[in-house]
């Protein structure tokens, strides 16, 4: 309960960047309610992520703007994948524009809600002299230094429900059903939803798969009278052969295979290897749409109120993070430019194998 004379931050800007996900509005509400009601700060909402900060698209946020948004999906601020530190057009200095608008609007701090890219940009802006706080948002749960990001639980629930629904179709038609989840660089979402949904095979980017091992597993299931199987594939999964290729050769290989995505490619490989009828379903953007789960609402709110407390103390250059059961700060340099992958010795992998799940090896 801060005394206004002791509060370091008087005015801050807040933005959401990168892909949308459930819990963004809950986090915005958490930051803004605590900052406004407890600390009497002035809040400027920045439209469209870093793009709005470049163009100067800021407006004051009042209590009516962040009231009633706890359960809403998406983000009331809008978002974009603008990366101001990437190569810019001739004559355009996006970082310079950000710094000018930061000072023009008399911001004491900037609060950025996003994933790896957003928080890396936040770190780089902190290196440029701006006061920045990051909040960890991503359904992939791949932010280094944070045990769990908001959005992950909601996406896991959506993926698990989809897997549950596909079970009945697989059983009715005696098919192998391949379900592709998001997770380009890290397999947390596919792994956890695959375990929750009873996936018979789970393929993630961290463990290159052997199609022959998958084929043996599925044939063995068929021999024991199990007439259908569920295969969960993270979008970044690779075969052992692909993992040996460089980026250019891998891209050429994917073009030559002429299939839309990894889910369809694995389905075709399984059908060729086993002769079993196989179908693929790509869950796509539905995974990050809709309302946040109760768990994500609580987590996002905790992140938000902690961020307001940190703003009041002038504790900048940090990511608000979950560490064990506690919510607290880690330095923004920790997640910058990194991806939190599933370790090969993570106990969750042993849990999957202990219940008979094939991990493609």
- Report residue 43: phi and psi, to 5°: -120, 130
Known catalytic residue: 108?
no
Residue 280's beta-bridge partner residues? 178
CA–CA distance, 310 with 329 (Å, rounded to integer): 9
On whether the CB atoms of residues 204 and 356 are closer than 8 A, the answer is: no
- Among 140, 142, 200, 296, which one carries the catalytic annotation? 140
Spell out where 19-153 has E strands: 42-46, 58-60, 109-114, 132-136
Q: How far apart are CA 88 and CA 296, in angstroms?
A: 36
Residues 13-33 as b/e (b if ≥16 CB within 10 A, e otherwise) read bbbbbbbbbbbbbbbbbbbbb
How many Cα atoms within 13 Å fall on the side-chain side of residue 108? 16
Q: How far is CA 134 from CA 115, 125, 155, 207, 284, in A?
A: 9, 11, 21, 30, 26
The catalytic site residues sit at 140
């Amino acid at each position: 309960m801060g005394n206004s004379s002791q509060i370091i931050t008087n005015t801050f800007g807040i933005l959401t960047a990168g892909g949308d996900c459930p819990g963004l509005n809950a986090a915005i509400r958490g930051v803004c309610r605590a900052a406004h009601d407890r600390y009497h700060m002035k809040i400027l909402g920045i439209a469209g992520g870093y793009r709005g900060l470049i163009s100067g698209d800021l407006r004051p946020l009042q209590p009516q703007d962040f009231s009633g948004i706890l359960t809403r999906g998406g983000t009331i601020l809008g978002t974009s994948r603008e990366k101001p530190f990437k190569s810019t057009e001739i004559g355009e200095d996006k970082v310079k524009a950000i710094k000018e608008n930061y000072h023009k609007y008399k911001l004491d701090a900037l609060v950025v809600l996003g994933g790896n890219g957003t928080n890396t940009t936040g770190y780089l802006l902190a290196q440029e002299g701006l006061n920045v706080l990051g909040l960890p948002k991503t359904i992939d749960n791949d932010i280094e230094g944070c045990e769990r990001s908001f959005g992950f639980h909601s996406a896991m629930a959506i993926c698990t429900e989809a897997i549950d629904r596909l079970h009945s179709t697989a059983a009715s038609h005696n098919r192998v059903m391949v379900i592709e989840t998001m997770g380009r660089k890290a397999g947390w979402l596919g792994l956890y939803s695959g375990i929750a949904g009873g996936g018979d095979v789970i393929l993630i980017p961290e463990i290159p798969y052997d199609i022959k091992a998958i084929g043996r597993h599925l044939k063995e299931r068929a021999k024991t009278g199990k007439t259908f199987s569920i295969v969960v594939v993270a979008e970044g999964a690779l075969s052992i052969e692909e993992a040996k290729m460089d980026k250019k050769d891998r891209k050429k290989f994917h073009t030559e295979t002429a299939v839309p995505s990894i889910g369809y490619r694995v389905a075709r490989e399984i059908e060729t290897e086993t002769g079993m009828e196989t179908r693929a379903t790509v869950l796509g953007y539905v995974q990050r749409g809709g309302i946040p789960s109760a768990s994500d609402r609580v987590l996002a709110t905790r992140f938000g109120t902690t961020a307001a407390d940190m703003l009041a103390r002038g504790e900048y250059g940090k990511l608000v993070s979950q560490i064990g059961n506690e919510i607290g700060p880690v330095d923004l340099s920790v997640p910058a430019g990194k991806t939190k992958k599933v370790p090969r010795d993570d106990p969750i992998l042993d849990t999957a194998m202990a219940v008979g799940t094939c991990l493609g090896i």
